[in-house]
Structure 1
Amino acid sequence: MSVNDSVVPAEPAEFWLFGYGSLIWKPPPHFDRRIPGWVTGYVRRFWQVIMHHRGTPEAPGRVVTLIDRSYWAQLTDHHDSAPDKVWGVAYRILADRVDEVKEYLDIREINGYSIHYTPFHPAAGVDSLVLPRAGPIQALVYIGTPENEQFTGPQDPQKLAQHIYHSHGPSGPNREYLWGLENSLDALSTESGDEHVTDLSNRVRAIAAQQEKENSPADKSRAAYSLAGLGTESSQYHNFRRAGSVDEQEETEKTS
């Protein structure tokens, strides 16, 4: 993989952080500006393993990472298209709290993420008074590159949806992360949706609906008749746990 041309070694004078996953709705501490917008040159995919928060070391979940678009174009992805713009949110961190926030992020963004800098483009209509200058803002972003062992690469969407549905960690069900991302992206702009995220969300909703149906009292009753030899259904019945609520608290990350 070639390093994205936007990656630079030196930090800019102001510290801006770009969030493209849970940072959109679960902001870092000590920020004074939050701006919706996008970056280019990347593709967002649920191809990063998470052993904390939304999974466990024994049963890791999945979260999003950004992939260099030129590298992604060489892969065989079942979702074979991706928007040119990766939408998210940029946060400006208070100058005297930058070191503290970096430490917080190093704990939060664990599991193989590396630090990059990339130009962030504010959305149209953002008040110029909150912008440091005209044009893009140099922003830090955490990326799980293909070189790290937590990177999964392309996955069958239905199998990935099944994995996300069943994964659970200290911060809650993996599916709540997926749905939270979908809702947060839709709220940013009329053009900020992500087909990969939306398709996975729809697949997981369908799985949840099916599991809820199979766990309904009526189905339990039919299964009982079947098991007793009084019905015509198969004698094989599986009692699935009811899907969790999307209203559960979204994130409870450990901070130290």
Structure 2
Amino acid sequence: MKPRDIVHEKNSLWIFGYGSLVWKPDFSYKRRKVGYIKGYKRRFWHGDDFHRGDKEKPGRVVTLIEDQEACTWGVAYEVTKSHMEESLQYLNVREVLLGGYTTEVVEFLPKEKSHSSLLALVYIATSDNPIYLGPASDVEIAAQIAVSRGKTGHNVEYLLRLAEFMRLSCPEVEDEHLFSIEAALLKIFPGGEITPSALKSL
């Protein structure tokens, strides 16, 4: 099923978030479910020169890379038909025009086993994108995140909030890529920890 089909044929639309959408959707939704999609791994391989960085120091944000053995945890939001158009318009600016993402339809599996799987719209940035940065070591990615800030805030906040979501909502999941970059970042700062007030001075 193509993205436009899932939008036009349904009375409600599910949108899957795996980056900043897990803590900051900023669109109207009816309910949310924590869960995962199969066949993709989350990686800090996409550049961001607006929300979490700028032209001189692009930040690093996550995208999805196809991997049949992997799964990615996040949140699916149900958007009713009455809010569908405005929500998609908002996301098309946030994710497509400014973020460089395209859309795909994926199968979402809720964490609660009693709930059945569902189709969800997801935004993915590919290597074809001009601000795509690609692979780098955990240390290199952490160093880039440590010095990047954009219109939405510091790149550090993005990383820490995503790690916090995983620990609180999916404590049984070991996201090695995410947590390894977080560990490398914490070594950059004195004391090995960053508070919200410290973020403001970065």
Q: Using structure 1 for the length normalisation, give the TM-score.
A: 0.70
More helix by share: 2
Determine helix, strand or coil for the equivalent of 1:10. helix
Q: In structure 2, what residue type is equivalent to 1:112?
A: G
Tell me which of 133, 138, 155 is aligned to 2:119: 138
Instruction: Please name the residue that 1:240 is paired with.
Output: none
Matches within 5 A, 1:229-244: none
Distance 1:38 1:137, change over 3 A: same
Distance 1:7 1:69, change over 3 A: farther
Question: Which protein has the larger Cα radius of gyration, Structure 1 or Structure 2?
Answer: 1
Instruction: Please name the residue that 2:75 is paired with.
Output: 89
Contact 1:182–1:193 (CA under 8 A) maintained in structure 2 = no
Contact 1:39–1:120 (CA under 8 A) maintained in structure 2 = yes
Please tell me whether residue 199 in structure 1 is matched to residue 195 in structure 2. no
Contact 1:7–1:118 (CA under 8 A) maintained in structure 2 = no
CA offsets per residue over residues 51-79 of structure 1, 9 Å max, x none? 11211122211100001116xxxxxxxxx
Distance 1:154 1:53, change over 3 A: same
Worse-superposed segment, 146-155 or 115-124? 146-155
TM-fit CA distance, 1:43: 0.9
Tell me which of 44, 51, 54 is aligned to 1:53: 51
Q: Which whole-Å CA distance do the structure 2 matches of 1:63 and 1:179 have between them? A: 12
Worse-superposed segment, 171-180 or 7-16? 7-16
TM-fit CA distance, 1:23: 0.5
Question: Identity of counterpart residues, as a percentage?
Answer: 35
Instruction: Please name the residue that 2:33 is paired with.
Output: 35
Q: In structure 1, what residue type is equivalent to 2:80?
A: L
Contact 2:50–2:150 (CA under 8 A) maintained in structure 1 = yes
Contact 2:3–2:121 (CA under 8 A) maintained in structure 1 = no
Q: In structure 2, what residue type is equivalent to 1:88?
A: G
Q: Which whole-Å CA distance do the structure 2 matches of 1:59 and 1:84 have between them? A: 30
Determine helix, strand or coil for the equivalent of 1:169. coil
Determine helix, strand or coil for the equivalent of 1:140. strand
Contact 1:179–1:246 (CA under 8 A) maintained in structure 2 = no
TM-fit CA distance, 1:249: 9.2
Distance 1:106 1:205, change over 3 A: same
TM-fit CA distance, 1:85: 2.1
Q: In structure 2, what residue type is equivalent to 1:58?
A: E
More strand by share: 2
TM-fit CA distance, 1:136: 1.4
Contact 1:49–1:151 (CA under 8 A) maintained in structure 2 = yes
TM-fit CA distance, 1:84: 2.5
Determine helix, strand or coil for the equivalent of 2:196. coil
